[in-house]
A and B are shown apart, each in its own frame.
Chain A
Amino acid sequence: MSTVTTTPARGKGARRKTTKAKVPNAVWGLIGILVFLGIWELLPALGIVKAEYLPPASEVLVTLAKDFTLTAFWLAVGETMLAWFIGLLVAVLLALVLGLVIGMSSFLRRATNSTIEFLRPIPSVALIPLAVLLFGTKIESSLMLIIYACFWQVLIQVLYGVADVDNVAMQTARSYGFSPFQRIRDVIFPTMLPYLMTGIRLGAAVALILAITAELIIGSPGLGKEIQLAQSGGAIAGMYALIVATGLLGVLINLGMRLIEKRILSWHVSVRGENIA
């Protein structure tokens, strides 16, 4: 009886709390950014850090705004995003196909488990010398690092997803005479989709890190290379502006991924929230 009387009250309370918290969240976030920029502005102004090492925020932001008007800047962004996109796409496709094949066979799962656990922790940046040997400073170098790093992120998620297929759902599919292909398309793939999306979201962040890393260190074209050029050319404010630009790219990619996830997985518990029934 007590649950009957307390449940609606608790529900109302929780709802009020979230609506109350939602508006200030955005405001608090904005205040946080402003405070951060303020401290950044003050550090060189007060002489705590030399302005030649850390130009004030205003100067960096103005440089960034100027960058936005330059074709060369957008070309660099385009190069980085191209490597990011192709790398992520290839990694996801490879991991999806291999993950489905391995995940559906208990023999293959057992046979590949130790190999996967050995190859997975190898940091992709350790492959930089090999990439340079194979591809020099071309975009392929970036791609190799990106694909290697993202592949494992996605593969592991796909394997978890395939393992999560519900027994009853599968028996239902079998009892209605679904062919093996129909079982993959209509039961295994949708079950795995939330895991795949998590893998892609993680992979997207990793892909950006490695795209910039490859450009910085190997010198393949893109924002990373521009950062390196700005630094060696003494354009310190320009360097910081490009670093901020990479950060903005990361934020945009994450937002985009969340949006896609929400669209595709509207039926899933993680998106739909509390059960209505």
Chain B
Amino acid sequence: MLSNSNGITGGRTLPEGEALLSVRGLKKVYHTDGGDIEAVRDLTFDLGRGELVCLVGPSGSGKTTLLKCIAGLLSATSGEVLLDGEKVTGPPKKMAVVFQEYGRSLFPWLRVADNVELPLKNAGVPKAERKKLVEDALDAVGLSHVPRSYPWQLSGGMQQRVAIARAVAYQPEVLLMDEPFAAVDAQTRADLEDLIRNVWKKLGVTVLFVTHDIDESIYLGERVIILSSSPTVVQEDIVIDLPAERDQLETRSLPRFTELRHHVYAEIQKAKQGHRPEEAKTTFLTNPK
């Protein structure tokens, strides 16, 4: 079921045709006045259709760079990103990105519903359909009561919900999220995590969720890809074998959750100390039960 091409440093790959999103040998070097900075060295992994995958790594491990390359916002130095078999050269139509900085990503001159509607309008979606999509999306994130408000009249968590609604209404096949909850308080964060799980289940969208929070990655993901420190490679790619129904209290108090947490934490500590994987590893931690 899981294949791992011999000798290629990287995460789990799927047989040709099965992957929705493929990252192959991705490398990104920034050319600056102070010399070249190699942010991402060599990344290879696949996302199957309908997966929810979390990417964790120590800070400065090039997570955002990777995400921007996948989103077509940055061009890779070498290697490639394939969406549905097609090479990504610019922002693809089937993708939506939710940024960490919701306050800057939402347009302050537009009301909530108009913010959600704008990408649809610019994509040429007919008006009646737009209205329905916007209503459904706002409903899905629990914001159907504030369509006429401006984003800056809402709390941080609500603003990020608007950004998520905008992405949901766009009906992407792949939803990329760049540390979307890093700037909200802990309680809001828990709510938003459950919201993402719900949206993912309801819409069957493929989600790649970047975070630096180990607990969050395990709680949310069906799979966690751990990145090494910069220059970045895949350190480990693990399957999260927790029950599909996740609950903030129960899931987090499962012994299995604690084990996974320990494991990922240890890997990240190793990454921070400069440990580099010798070759690709796809690990199933043996479930003691």
Contact = CB atoms under 8 A, between A and B. Distances in A.
Interface of A: 166-169, 171-172, 174-179, 182, 186-187, 190, 193, 267-268, 272, 275-277
B170 A176 contact: yes
Interface stretch (B19-27, B116-124, B220-228): B116-124
Nearest to B71: A175
* Interface residue SS majority, chain A: helix
Contacts of B118: 176, 186
Contacts of B122: 176-179, 182, 186
Interface residues of B, number: 29
Contact of B95 (A166, A175, A276, A277): A175
Contacts of A179: 122
A182 B124 CA distance: 12
A72 to B, nearest CB: 45
A142 B170 CA distance: 52
A176 B91 contact: yes
User: Which residue among B109, B110, B123, B153 has the maximum number of chain A CB atoms within 10 Å of its CB?
Assistant: B109
A162 B156 CA distance: 27
A187 B91 CA distance: 17
A267 B96 contact: no
A157 B153 CA distance: 28
Contacts of B181: none
A169 B105 contact: yes
9 smallest beta-carbon distances between A and B, as pairs: A176-B119, A168-B104, A175-B97, A190-B109, A267-B109, A172-B105, A182-B122, A175-B91, A168-B101
A193 B104 CA distance: 17
Contacts of A178: 119, 122
Nearest to B118: A186
Contacts of A167: 104
Contacts of A168: 99, 101, 104-105
Contact of B107 (A174, A175, A177, A186): A186
Contacts of A169: 104-105, 107
B155 A176 contact: no
25 contacts: A166-B104, A168-B101, A168-B105, A169-B105, A171-B73, A171-B97, A172-B99, A175-B71, A175-B95, A175-B97, A176-B91, A176-B118, A176-B119, A176-B123, A177-B119, A177-B122, A179-B122, A182-B122, A186-B122, A267-B109, A268-B109, A275-B152, A276-B152, A276-B153, A277-B152
B72 to A, nearest CB: 8
Contacts of B68: 171
A176 B150 contact: no
B93 interface: yes
B28 to A, nearest CB: 16
A190 B99 CA distance: 20
Contacts of B109: 190, 193, 267-268
Interface string B183-202: 00000000000000000000
A168 B99 CA distance: 8
A176 B96 contact: yes
Contacts of B154: 277
